[in-house]
Amino acid sequence: MNAPRVAVGGIAQETNSFTGIPTTMADFVGRGGEYTVGGDVVTEHRGVNSIVGGFLDDLEGVGATVLPLMHARACPGGPLDRPTYEALRDDLLARLEALGDGYDAVLLALHGAMVAEGYDDPEGDLLVRVRAMAGDRPVGVVLDLHANVTPEIVAEADVLVAFKTYPHVDMAACGRTAAAATRRAVVEGRTSVASAFVPLPMMLPSIRMRTIDPDGPMTRVEALAAERMAAAPELVEVGIYGGFPYADVPFDRACVVVNSRGGAEHAQAVAEEVASAFWASRREFLATLESAPAAVERALRAERHPVVLADVADNPGSGGTGDTPTLLRLLVDRDADRTFVGILFDPESVDAAFAAGEGARATFALGGKVNPHHGDPVVVEARVERLSDGQYTCVGPMMHGKRESLGRSALLRVGNVLVGISEGRASVNDPAMLAMLGVDVADFRVLALKVKGHFRAAFGPLVADVIDAEAPGASMTDFSGLPYRQRATPAFPLEPDTSWRP
C-alpha cells in the first residue's frame, strides 16, 4: 500500500506545576494558542516547520490521503483544568471515531510533559483511548525532547519520535520521520517494530541541553544516537528525552526510547548503550547562572552590542508567568539608553495603554501580578509609543511560516527604557514578535527577554552575546527548592548519590 489514508491530529502543552496560572480552553482558542479542526489543520501547517507540517510534507509527497482531525496547542503553563483536557481529548476521539474504518494509520503531534487536573499522564490516557479505536492500525507519535515519557506512551505508540535539536528546529523533520515509518508499518504490520524504554533516575535543567553547543553534553549524546542509527538501518528511532522537571508527576525524569525492526533485544541493547552515555554525562547538565544584578552589570558594560539578557526562570516556554519584574526593575533604575525589556504578560497594563492611546503618558504598574512573591509590580510613568494587534508570522527557524498572535500588545517608554507588554504569554523566540512592536534588535545595546534556549535559533546571528540571568521565577535552573508532592525519587541531582546501571 503506497498511499494509505492517515488520520492526523494532536494536543500539545508543556505543564509547569509551579507557575500559578491554570491552563484553560481560552489558552488554546485565544491569543498565543491554536485550536484548528478539519481542513484548517492542513491550511495552518502546510509548509510550516511544525510537527504537523512534517506529517503533511511526507504524506502529500507520496499521494497519501490526509484525514485531518484537530490540532490544539497552548503556551506552557499550569496544569490543564479537567474540563479543558477532556473536551480536547473527546473532540479528537470523536473525529477519529467518525472515520469508521476509513483510515489505515494515525499520526499525532503531542508534547509528552502535559499534566491535567485528575490526569498525571494525559498523553498516555489519550493514546490508550486512540489504541482502543485504532486496533491494529499503526499509531505514530512525535514528542518534544523535554517529554516525561511513560510506559503507557511507549506501549501504545508503534513509532515514537523525539526532537533531536534544542532549540527545536527539526520539528517538521521529525514529523516526516514519524510519517514515513508509520506508513511503512501499514504495509509490514505494527508488530514489525519493537520498542525499548530505559528510564533514568535524573531530573535535569534544560539550560545545558542545547544541541547548538558544539561540545555540549546533549550534543554528544545525540551524536552517539545518530551514529547508531546510521550504522543499523533496522533502527527506526533512537529518542533521547531530557524530561521536564517542573511537572510534579511521579515520572518526571530523563529516558531513552528506541524503536527497531531488528527485534526487542536489538532495541534494548541500543537503548541501554545510549542511556549509559546519557547517565555518564549527567553532571555536565548542571549549571550555576549569574545573579540578576551581576548579569545586568555585565550586559551594560559590554563593548559589543546587542546583548541579550535571558530571563530564564520566567521563560514562558518553560511555563514561566512572563511577568516577573526583577530585570525590569534593575534596568529602569539604571535608565540606560537603547534598552528593551519584554515581552511582559500584563493584560491589565495593555488595557491601560489602549485606553490612553499612542503618544499619551500614564502611570503603569508593570508585571508582578501573577506570583507577587517573585517581586512586586514596577510602578512607572510611561509614554505609549506604539499599539499593536499582536499578529505576526514567524521568520526564524522554529515554526517558520506559522501565523501567531500575542493578542493586543503595546510598547511603552520609561525614560530611556522601552518595555513591551502583551495580553498573551509567549517566549520571545522570533524577531517577528519584536518587529510587530516596531522593535529592531540591531537598534539596542541590551535586550532583556523572557527566553531560555529556543530564541537562540533566530537571535543567535543577530546578537553579540547572550547572558543567562537567574532571577526569581517558576522555572529556575536550581529547582531543588520547589514544593514537589510526588516527584520521582531518588533522582540526581536532588539526591546526589543516586546510582543507576542497565
pLDDT at 1 over 60: no
Average pLDDT along the chain: 96
C-alpha angle 139-78-172 in degrees, rounded to nearest 5: 40
pLDDT tens per residue, range 399-453: 999 999 999 999 999 999 999 999 999 999 999 999 999 999 999 999 999 999 9
What average pLDDT does this structure show over 119-123? 98
State the DSSP string of 248-311: -STT-S-EEEEEETT-HHHHHHHHHHHHHHHHHTGGGG---PEEHHHHHHHHHH-SSS-EEEEE
**Is the separation of the CB atoms in 368 and 323 below 8 Å?**
yes
State the DSSP string of 317-362: GGT--S---HHHHHHHHHT-SSEEEEEEE-HHHHHHHHHH-TT-EE
Give the C-alpha separation, 189 to 185, whole Å: 5
| pLDDT at residue 30, as a whole number | 81
pLDDT at 381 over 90: yes
CA dist list (Å): 476 to 204, 210, 287, 469, 488: 12, 17, 11, 10, 19
Give the C-alpha separation, 198 to 133, whole Å: 28
pLDDT tens per residue, range 444-462: 999 999 999 999 999 999 9
Contacts of 98 (CB under 8 A, 6+ apart): none
pLDDT tens per residue, range 18-52: 998 999 999 999 888 999 999 999 999 999 999 99
What are the beta bridge partners of residue 64? none
Give the C-alpha separation, 491 to 495, whole Å: 5
**Is the separation of the CB atoms in 368 and 378 below 8 Å?**
yes
pLDDT tens per residue, range 78-94: 999 999 999 999 999 99
**Is the separation of the CB atoms in 369 and 353 below 8 Å?**
no
**Is the separation of the CB atoms in 417 and 411 below 8 Å?**
no
State the DSSP string of 97-122: HTTTT--SEEEEE--S---BTTBS-H
Looking up cell 542545547, which residue turns up?
210
pLDDT at 341 over 70: yes
Helix axes 217-231, 264-280, angle to 10 degrees: 160
This prediction has a pTM of 0.96
What average pLDDT does this structure show over 274-293? 97
pLDDT tens per residue, range 463-473: 999 999 999 99
Burial 79-102 (b: 16+ CB within 10 A, else e): bbbeebbbebbebbbebbeeeeee
Helix (H) or strand (E) holding 134: helix 122-134
pLDDT at 395 over 80: yes
Cell matching residue 250: 511521579
User: Which DSSP letter does residue 23 get?
Assistant: B
